[in-house]
Structure 1
Amino acid sequence: MSWWLLLYSISILARYQPRKWSEALDVDKSGSAAALEYASDIVLDVIPHLVLEGLDQQPRLLAKPMAF
């Protein structure tokens, strides 16, 4: 559920506050830009596994361990 909450929050920010979202992604001005970029890279690996788990109703192991 944490992944879905994170994605929902980011999508709301990007949709309704596009100026703040683009400022948050600016690597030169924002301290959180690197963390947002890292999170978006991880999401591309994790979400397909979560969708597959939901469709199959069986837990799956991730292909590679997540490092935070």
Structure 2
Amino acid sequence: TQGKEKVDDAEEVKFEIWKKNSDKNSSMLEAKHDQHGIYTAKTVIKEPGTYTVQVHVTARKMHVMPKTDLSVN
């Protein structure tokens, strides 16, 4: 979103994933717009652990890179 508006016209959306506390050996996944400002990508993570996911979004003359952690059991 940008403000309260859903962004369905992003120029680029990529998901970067790496194992937390590693030397940032990351993989980059191209995302596609599904609907209503929701962008998705698919991958399989085989090794348990905590991973960082950083989204690279370029839209409307702005570039943001929020990130979060996820656990794989």
TM-score by length of 2: 0.23
TM-score by length of 1: 0.24
Which has the larger share of helix?
1
Which has the larger share of strand?
2
Comparing both chains, which one has the higher relative contact order based on Cα–Cα distances under 8 Å and sequence gaps of 6 or more?
2
